[in-house]
Amino acid sequence: MKRDIIESAEVIVCSPGRNFVTVKITTKAGYIGYGDATLNGRELAVAAYLEHYLCPLLEGRSVFQTEDIWNYFYKGAYWRKGPVTMTAIGAIDMALWDLKGKILETPVYNLLGGKSRSKMLTYTHANGKNLEDTLKRVEELKKASFEAIRVQCGIPGIEKAYGIGEKGIYEPAIKGNKPFEESWSTPKYLNFIPSVFEEVRKEFGEDLHLLHDSHHRLTPTEAARLAKDLEPYHLFWLEDVTPAEHQESFAQIKQKSVTPLAVGEVFNTIHDAHHLISNQSIDYIRMTVSHGGGITPMLKIAHFAEPYHIKTGCHGPSDISPIALAACLHVDTAINNFGIQEYMGYSETTEEAFPHEYYFENGHLHLTEAPGLGVDFNETFARKFEYEKAYLPINRLEDGTMFNW
Ligand code: GCO
Ligand code: MG
């Protein structure tokens, strides 16, 4: 029996710790590969795309044909791009690479160029309600060996600012039938944030890598002001300063400041980023394997960015499953222009649902020699937790105007 011929492809939607959509592809010889199709707050749209349109077309195909299968789904749909489509294609692509590795008995990175490094620099989040809280959290993360920390802080005068969770893992999607409403004031934010970084540097010195996420909220002019104001604190990067629909905006910001810029977590294809990359208007491309259409295109994007001095910084929030995180780590391991990997961590329930080989130690994520992606799916356990609708928040200015979240 040919080891690589697909027998079936199935979609599993459940909520072990939070909502996840998982693709399971089984070959006729009994090999199983997994892919992550989670798109936070829009999970069922991706599940339906997979169930109705992609999964039924896989039977009889060879798992080795990742390039042809990817193009069959991308070009073959006629309707290209978009987060739903690309997350669905990405999950299948991931599962196919997982299968290739398992059949060939080798980690996926060996099929992508081999080991370029033995460990990946990793950043996580310090989200304090106020300055004191933020400093405490940075201290804790430093003790937990993190060398790179994304610093967010509640803003005086803004009741519900972005990125500030209660204790433990920050989870932006909230269960219920209506999105939660946050509020925003750009002047209050711009006046306050530089003082946070001043204090963090005062307390912890120059050694820590510091990152910050503006979550798509500034105009290019406001972004340039923030980037300049933060220059004395030598950020590793300033992320998503302005909504990325206008790739030209980043060139304006870049001309005015030497604070490194990162963008791309909401991008789905190279077409969202090709001007940013070829004009060298960013420093880090943040696309992630699941929402960027899989390992196949991510590798091409990383290779395209390399000669332009642009490094990767894959999105790694808790709303992509450990399968997608592992897929990022395999790409991170193989490419030359790896920059950093985001890692928010997972709840105990999520960890139990997705037993994995990758591990965090001394500020870095590590992979092992395990074949495939090195993540299992404890399906019986995971299915005990039923999907519950959850929305990402929406955001309004203080006068009620709808704004970017
Ligand atoms: C990040 C992100 C996330 C997103 C989330 C949306 O930099 O990690 O901005 O926190 O908001 O992934 O689902
Ligand atoms: Mg972000």
Over residues 141-184, the pLDDT tens digits come to 999 999 999 999 999 999 888 878 766 567 889 999 999 999 99
What local confidence, expressed as pLDDT, does residue 161 receive?
80
Same domain, 77 and 155: no
Same domain, 70 and 147: no
Q: Which ligand is nearest to the CA of 240?
A: 2
CA angle 109, 114, 115 (to 5 degrees): 90
Q: Is 401 among the domain residues?
A: no
What local confidence, expressed as pLDDT, does residue 168 receive?
58
**Is the CA virtual torsion 49, 55, 58, 62 positive or negative?**
positive
Same domain, 135 and 258: yes
Please count the CA atoms within 13 angstroms of the CA of 360 that sit on its side-chain side. Answer: 18
Same domain, 79 and 147: no
Which CATH number do you get for residue 19?
A: 3.30.390.10
- Among protein residues, the one with the nearest Cα to ligand 1's atom 8 is 317
The pTM score is 0.98
Same domain, 195 and 330: yes
Same domain, 173 and 96: no
Q: Which atom of ligand 1 is nearest to the CA of 318?
A: 12
The contacts of residue 21 (CB under 8 Å, 6+ apart) are: 11, 12, 13, 36, 37, 38, 39, 43, 46, 47, 50, 91
- What's the domain count of the chain? 2
Catalytic residues: 162, 215
- Among protein residues, the one with the nearest Cα to ligand 1's atom 10 is 317
Same domain, 19 and 156: no
Q: Is 59 among the domain residues?
A: yes
- H or E, element range at 255: helix 248-256
125 lines ligand 1 (CB under 6 A): no
182 lines ligand 1 (CB under 6 A): no
- H or E, element range at 202: helix 186-204
- DSSP code of residue 5: B
Strands 120-128 and 364-366: antiparallel
Q: Is 383 among the domain residues?
A: no
229 lines ligand 1 (CB under 6 A): no
Q: Is 399 among the domain residues?
A: no
Range of the domain at 204: 120-372
Give me 383's structure tokens: 């299915």
To test the pocket of ligand 1, the residue of 265, 284, 341, 392 to mutate (highest count of ligand atoms within 8 Å of its CB) is 265
- CA 329/CA 122 separation, integer angstroms: 10
Please count the CA atoms within 13 angstroms of the CA of 354 that sit on its side-chain side. Answer: 33
CA-to-CA dists, residue 128 to 122, 155, 170, angstroms? 20, 10, 11
Same domain, 187 and 327: yes
Which CATH number do you get for residue 325?
A: 3.20.20.120
- DSSP code of residue 375: B
What local confidence, expressed as pLDDT, does residue 402 receive?
98
What local confidence, expressed as pLDDT, does residue 167 receive?
60
- Among protein residues, the one with the nearest Cα to ligand 1's atom 3 is 317
Same domain, 70 and 216: no
Q: Which atom of ligand 1 is nearest to the CA of 316?
A: 8
Same domain, 258 and 336: yes
What local confidence, expressed as pLDDT, does residue 1 receive?
66
Residue 24: strand, helix, or coil: strand
Closest among 25, 33, 56 to 111, alpha carbons compared: 33
Ranges of the chain whose pLDDT falls below 70: 1, 166-169
What local confidence, expressed as pLDDT, does residue 162 receive?
83
Residues near ion ligand 2 (CB < 5 Å) are 213
CA of 286 to the centre of ligand 2 (A): 9
What local confidence, expressed as pLDDT, does residue 166 receive?
64
- CA 93/CA 297 separation, integer angstroms: 9
